Amino acid sequence: MGKVIVITSGKGGVGKTTTTANLGTGLAATGQRVCLVDTDIGLRNLDVVMGLENRIVYDLLDVVEGNCRLRQALIKDKHFGDSLVLLPAAQTREKDAVKPEQMRELMAQLREDYDFVILDSPAGIEHGFKNAIAGADTAIVVTTPEISAVRDADRIIGLLEAAELYDPQLIINRVRPDMVRKGDMMDIDDIDDILAISILGVIPDDQDIIVSTNRGETVVTDKKSRPGQAYRNVVRRILGEEVPFMNLQERKVMHWFKKILSGEAQ
Amino acid sequence: MFEFITRLFGGSEGSKNKAKERLRLVLVHDRASLSPGLVEALEEELIQVISKYLEIDEEGLEVNFDEGDDSVALIANIPVKNVKRKM
């Protein structure tokens, strides 16, 4: 029986979709069988981030409404084939086209075949959010170190607990070490202090993310990339390993040096 | 320039502290309004406890959060009708 994880945030634009794509790919790279589900009906994007936009035939709604079999709608990843698949969102329908009960049923089916089902939730706290969390076992909340995003994360944590999804974990995305060093950006301790939930990972802001997304690739499999390393660490933590947080204060050049010297440790 | 030098020597106060302070306050309000039931339950228990010692105007009771510069206080306004005689 697989585990269903919902990736959510409240605020839009903090990197939910990128996080979903990277964690999914990262888990698949460790040999897990993974299904990604885009629940952002009307604003689908997980397909382009994964570079699979040209392969879509059926979508989530087709499955729910019985226009196709589940298997027909699952798109195989370019690199991992059967062990990493995407169920895309419908692009031309309303957010309330799917019901929480239908999502629960779908998740029950998917968890039979996959070790991990990762749901990319829409921004906001309305219908789409409620659908996305309906069939989930656990939640990962994504935030950036900005006041608005942290505030919304706090609200989402409250709503998740109200929906009996206890102990959500936090990913702090787009941390800028230079600004943290100057005291101009909240760091992991500050956010931990305020939200008081367990932190699953810290992802540095890096142009690698934009470059790889442009190409329809995920950064998690790029051994040389800092955010890639950060995502790989999150994947290992999801799998139950204890991995210390990356030292973001370390200069990039030093990081490269260490990599070269150690022949890409971990 | 001065700011730059103080920052250089680590005695700085970056803008993150301002962000933290503002966030703390806004979250107190958000969290309280997220569960109005919590404030209500607090009011009810306050009435129970205080009524042991004082006769109070239950209708006039008010409970609010008040924000200072870097702290948040719970302010309860409890109109007293009568002090109870000791048993």
Give the tokens for residue B30: 């958000």
Give the tokens for residue A168: 């959500």
Question: pLDDT value at position A172?
Answer: 97
Question: pLDDT value at position B7?
Answer: 53
Confidence band for B3, pLDDT divided at 50, 70 and 90 = low
> Apex CA A170: angle with CA A229 and CA A218, to 5°?
35
- Long-range contacts of the stretch A128-132 (C-beta < 8 A, 24+): A128/A39, A128/A40, A128/A41, A128/A95, A129/A8, A129/A159, A130/A100, A130/A163, A131/A39, A131/A95, A131/A98, A131/A99, A131/A100, A131/A103, A132/A6, A132/A8, A132/A39, A132/A103
List, in order of start, the domains of chain A with CATH numbers.
Answer: 3-262 (3.40.50.300)
Give the whole-angstrom CA distance, residue B44 versus residue B26: 25
Record: contact A186-B16, CB cut-off 8 A: yes
**Cross-chain CB nearest to B16 (options A151, A155, A190):** A190
**Cross-chain CB nearest to A151 (options B15, B16, B30):** B30
Question: pLDDT value at position B28?
Answer: 83
pLDDT > 70 fraction of chain A, expressed in percent and rounded: 94
Chain B residue with the nearest C-alpha to that of A146: B19
Confidence band for A239, pLDDT divided at 50, 70 and 90 = very high
CA atoms B4, B10, B12, B17: torsion sign: positive
B67: three-class secondary structure by DSSP: strand
**Cross-chain CB nearest to A151 (options B14, B17, B23):** B23
Record: contact A154-B27, CB cut-off 8 A: yes
**Model pTM?**
0.80
Confidence band for A60, pLDDT divided at 50, 70 and 90 = very high
Cβ-proximal residues to A187 (8 Å cutoff; 6+ apart), any chain = A145, A175, A180, B16
Confidence band for A222, pLDDT divided at 50, 70 and 90 = very high
A204: three-class secondary structure by DSSP: strand
Question: pLDDT value at position A58?
Answer: 95
Q: What ipTM, to 2 d.p.?
A: 0.77
Give the whole-angstrom CA distance, residue A237 versus residue A225: 18
**CA–CA min distance A185, chain B (Å):** 5
A140: three-class secondary structure by DSSP: strand
Mean pLDDT, rounded, of chain A: 92
Nearest CA to A117 out of A6, A25, A200 is that of A6
Chain B residue with the nearest C-alpha to that of A187: B16
Residue A265, pLDDT above cutoff 50:
no
Question: pLDDT value at position A52?
Answer: 96
Lowest-confidence segment of A44-48, A173-177, B25-29 by average pLDDT: B25-29
**CA–CA min distance B44, chain A (Å):** 22
Question: pLDDT value at position A258?
Answer: 66
Residue B80, pLDDT above cutoff 80:
yes
* Location of structure tokens 């900005």: A146
Chain A residue with the nearest C-alpha to that of B23: A147
For A231, A254, B77, the CA distances from A260, given in Å and listed in that order, are 20, 10, 66
Mean pLDDT, rounded, of chain B: 77
How does pLDDT run across A80-139, given as a tens digit for each residue?
999 999 999 998 888 778 999 999 999 999 999 999 999 999 998 888 899 999 999 999
Lowest-confidence segment of A70-74, A194-198, B11-15 by average pLDDT: B11-15
How does pLDDT run across A242-261, given as a tens digit for each residue?
999 988 776 666 666 666 77
The reply to whether B30 touches chain A by the CB within 8 Å rule is: yes
**CA–CA min distance B28, chain A (Å):** 10
Give the whole-angstrom CA distance, residue B70 versus residue B19: 12
Helix (H) or strand (E) holding A16: helix A16-29
